[in-house]
Structure 1
Amino acid sequence: MRRRDALGLLAAPLLLPHRAAAQGWAPTRPVSMVVPFPPGGPTDLAARVVQQPMQAALGQTVIIDNRPGATGAIGSRYVAGQPADGHSLLVAASGTLTINPVIMRSPGYDVERDFAPVTLVMTAPNMLVVHPSIPARTVPEVVAWMKTIAGGPAYASSGVGSSEQLGMELFKLLTGTEAVAVPFAGGPAAATAVIQNQAPIAVLNAATVGTHVASGALRGIAICGPNRFPQLPAVPTMAEQGLPDHVSGSWTAIVAPAATPAPILDRLNEVIVAALKTPEVTERLARVGFAVDATDRPTLARLIAADLARWRRVVRDARIDLI
């Protein structure tokens, strides 16, 4: 199937109004929210903050089912094969939906074919950071500094196929710079490496490094998103510094098996968005550096398509090996 046709299938159920029918749907058995990561992480938190409000609104038990493995692929494959009746949902990180499909040889699922969007949940942008000893405070100064180093500096990567790694590769492509990836086991370990000057530069998630930037252990150069990060309002965006095409970060969304009827998807969207807009949920997610970004289904479909296209280009142009 051509990609254009697949995108059409992803968006097709979004086009007709189903509000009245949506309000009449209710689950007939417990709803399973599959989290393809272990308990305790941000994706797991996204599921748990809406669990109780969903139960109250739907009149049915909502179960959190953690199925970790293969950077989210195992749980995603499981949900893709479940009945499309609203009782199985995938709470997915952006990497699961838009990076695995372009960097894994066989993820075992096709996002555009196998899933229907329900809603975006939360977002946190990446941030370009450097060790405080680096003689640069702006994007142009960082670019100039990088070009003084033969082969480029080492950069701390939070892992192959992470949004942080691809964010740094995107930065290199847009600025014509070089840098050598040094992989670490996740964002916190990569942040520690920059703090200790083992690798003096990185693109890392703002939720991970925000406190280090605030304390002065790291220097924040630019937010890789359309808006400044509320916790660090003094750090300008990439767009403000001449790189409007540098957008990277992490987000969490909820999707369902592709053939789920639109009235069911609309009802789920209505219930989850209402839960996300409560002050309690907003404050709980803000404490860990994420902003609530509840959306309608077409908006999530467009985000998935845009990120898939962006990361396909980066993987191709940066010649990143598939895994």
Structure 2
Amino acid sequence: MKLSISRLALKALRVAFFSYTWVAACSASAQSTGDPLRLLVGFPPGGGTDAIARVLAEKLGEELGKPVVVDNRAGAGGQIAAQILKSAPADGRTFFLSNDHTISIVPQVMKNPGFDPPKDFVPVAGFANSINGLAVPATSPVRTVAEYVAWVKRQNGACNAVGIPAPASIPEFLVRDIGAKYQLDLQAVPYRGSGPMIVDMLSNQIPAGIGSVADFIEYHKAGKIRLIALIGRERQTLFPDVQTFSELGMTGLEDLPYYGFFAPRGTPQAAMDRFGAALAKVVATPAVHDRITAMGFLVEFTNQGQFTERVRVYTTQWAQTIKASGYQPQ
């Protein structure tokens, strides 16, 4: 009887030991994983910004050793996501993947956007630039800007509409600049995103559009839409035959729109440093670099100091352009 009890006790101890070991291992794993990070995205699933966010979220999670969850809060050109960022706890667990439109342009064209970037946010790091371009349907006889200008003039106002993905966006100001440069009475036609605009271009409901190359690139490759001019200082490797507006003598269109991450003001510096270091490693990997490039973006990592200055200069330049245009904040 004593021997039987001893064996049962030993068995119980072994079960307890292995149970404790398994629980401890799981607990340690959970602690190493930690609370997930949230990546706010101000645009809906399926778009270019969302696609980048999901590529980065997966790899950032691997690098940081914790889940990184994409949180789409679409609407109002990123304003909704920005307002959520403003009210988020500054604990290093929430970051906002944004382009220039929400941070640099919206506060210039809206009376009450619901946030003030210099006051409410901290730039963390930049990772890419986007390119805006003027495009026409493939059925158009136009192949260059010179041909476009001549063609529009011949139509006597019948084909002066230019689609833009959002009102009071950089594409709208590009429409104004092109019209002023070539004495064309161009009319910007705002859409709710690039998708509906491209649908109308493909069906010849609108003769031209200005938007992000990332939205046009697949249609351009498929021969359904033709890019005829791009912003930037030099021609892009992906489009060596497409002129830049700078080549055509239009100044002020050299600086490309940026993409980067922002955190709530007050976020611990150590958390931002960890995130920035992980982002630098991720975008340097060939798989991520090539995938983002194929989407029509230019990968360029900038650390916190560089990115902060980039945002400041870019915002100042466009503030001057918007003011000179006479546009009144809505």
1:179 CA displacement: 0.6
Q: Paired residue for 1:313? A: 320
Which ranges of structure 1 fall in alignment gaps of 5 or more residues? 1-25
Q: Paired residue for 1:165? A: 172
1:221 CA displacement: 1.9
Q: Paired residue for 2:48? A: 42
CA distance in 2, matches of 1:44, 1:200: 28
SS state at 1:264 partner: helix
SS state at 1:241 partner: coil
CA distance in 1, matches of 2:189, 2:37: 41
Distance 1:272 1:180, change over 3 A: same
Choose from 229, 251, 265 the match for 1:222: 229
Superimposed CA distance per residue, residues 251-301 of structure 1 (whole angstroms, 9 cap, x where no aligned partner): 421111122343432222111111111112123223322232221123322
Q: Paired residue for 1:117? A: 123
Choose from 13, 28, 33 the match for 2:39: 33
Q: 2:306 matched to 1:283?
A: no
Q: Paired residue for 1:153? A: 160
Does the 8 A contact of 1:191 with 1:204 survive in 2?
no
Superimposed CA distance per residue, residues 29-78 of structure 1 (whole angstroms, 9 cap, x where no aligned partner): 33222222232222222222222332333233322222223321122112
Which ranges of structure 2 fall in alignment gaps of 5 or more residues? 1-31
Equivalent positions of 1:2-17 (< 5 A) are: none
SS state at 2:60 partner: helix
**When the two structures are superposed, what TM-score results if normalisation uses the length of structure 2?**
0.78
CA distance in 2, matches of 1:131, 1:42: 21
Greater helix fraction, Structure 1 or Structure 2:
2
CA distance in 2, matches of 1:174, 1:261: 47
Q: Give the letter aligned to residue 233 of structure 2.
A: P
Does the 8 A contact of 2:233 with 2:255 survive in 1?
no
125-134 vs 88-97, which moves further: 125-134
SS state at 2:88 partner: coil
Does the 8 A contact of 1:170 with 1:314 survive in 2?
no
Q: Paired residue for 2:67? A: 61
Identity %: 29
Q: Paired residue for 2:240? A: 233
Distance 1:266 1:239, change over 3 A: same
Does the 8 A contact of 1:118 with 1:300 survive in 2?
yes
Distance 1:150 1:301, change over 3 A: farther
Does the 8 A contact of 1:166 with 1:311 survive in 2?
no
Distance 1:101 1:131, change over 3 A: same
Q: Give the letter aligned to residue 134 of structure 2.
A: L
CA distance in 1, matches of 2:166, 2:71: 25
CA distance in 2, matches of 1:131, 1:40: 23
Equivalent positions of 1:186-225 (< 5 A) are: 186-225=193-232
1:110 CA displacement: 0.7
Distance 1:253 1:200, change over 3 A: same
Does the 8 A contact of 2:48 with 2:215 survive in 1?
no
Equivalent positions of 1:73-88 (< 5 A) are: 73-88=79-94
**When the two structures are superposed, what TM-score results if normalisation uses the length of structure 1?**
0.79
Q: Paired residue for 1:269? A: 276
CA distance in 1, matches of 2:36, 2:198: 40
Q: 2:311 matched to 1:304?
A: yes
